[in-house]
Amino acid sequence: MKLAVAGGTGTVGAHVVEVARERGHEVVVLSRSAGVDLVTGTGLSDALSGVDAVVDVASTQTVSAKESTAFFSTVTRHLLAGESEKGVGHHLALSIVGIDRAPQSYYAGKVEQERIVRSGTVPWTILRATQFHEFAAQIRARASFGPVSIIPKMLSQPIAAREVAERLIDLAERPPSGRVADLGGPRRERMAQMVRGQARAIGKRALVLEVPVPGAYGRAMRDGTLVTSAGADHGTQTFEDWAAAQSR
């Protein structure tokens, strides 16, 4: 198959590209560093020639609901329009467990992304996953001041990005399936502990201050809204094993 991976240079995107190539698929990367801007649409139409399925794992780093919604709605509309024009038969989007119960901040954009995909004309699949193990490093990078990291009080059920990528390629190889079973990690973890563990694994010192984020979004982070419920599938690599592998 020929697959296009929107955000193919990102945290999960790099794994998606790797897994797809390992399985013998032809891969086109849609990202700014590969010459395709999904916000302006530059380079998109040509890149979608001959593509069978698009895996959308593009993202933006923001906690603003307005910015997130603008990004995900623009990117999704551009992708779906390009796919329609080129006859691409499958749009596959990666979303996040629990977003409809916490439709604020960054998640506002994810809710809108799902809505646009569902109401579009391109046959689709939506997979919701929990936070990646890599999220600990992403959040530490954004919220550190010297050795001090200010981390939201958050209950997560992290999963290896590689395992999410494998599931995405499994799904891309099948016909469009609509909303499929959620995918989470094997254990529930506190984000502050993950950040400490990730820093330790790469030989860094992290003084972690765990703070409750105010409002409904913060409550959802703390109260288990973002972990899996009955019917979900689960990966196998624990955060501890993943962090140990990073240190080697």
Ligand X SMILES: NC(=O)c1ccc[n+]([C@@H]2O[C@H](COP(=O)([O-])OP(=O)(O)OC[C@H]3O[C@@H](n4cnc5c(N)ncnc54)[C@H](OP(=O)(O)O)[C@@H]3O)[C@@H](O)[C@H]2O)c1
Is residue 190 classed exposed, middle or buried when 0-12, 13-18 and 19+ CB atoms within 10 A define those classes?
middle
Task: Count the site residues for ligand X by CB under 6 A.
Answer: 27
- Please name the residues in contact with 61: beta carbons below 8 A apart, sequence gap of 6 or more: 138, 142
Residue 110 near ligand X by CB under 6 A: yes
Compare residues 59 and 69 and give the one whose CB is closer to ligand X: 59
Q: Answer yes or no: are the C-beta atoms of 169 and 195 closer than 8 Å.
A: no
Q: Give min distance, CB of 211 to ligand X, in A.
A: 19
- Residues 39 to 98 in contact with ligand X, rule: CB under 6 A: 39, 57-61, 94, 96
- Please name the residues in contact with 248: beta carbons below 8 A apart, sequence gap of 6 or more: none
Residue nearest to ligand X (CB): 10
Reading the block at residue 214, the tokens are 């105010």
With CB under 6 A as the contact rule, which of the stretches 130-138, 167-175, 186-194, 210-218 interacts with ligand X?
Answer: 130-138
**Sole binder of ligand X in the list 68, 69, 105, 131 (CB under 6 A):** 131
**Sole binder of ligand X in the list 1, 18, 23, 32 (CB under 6 A):** 32
Compare residues 16 and 122 and give the one whose CB is closer to ligand X: 16
Quote the CA–CA distance of 119 and 3 in Å, as a whole number: 22
Interacting residues with ligand X (CB under 6 A): 7-13, 31-33, 36-39, 57-61, 94, 96, 110, 129, 131-132, 135, 138
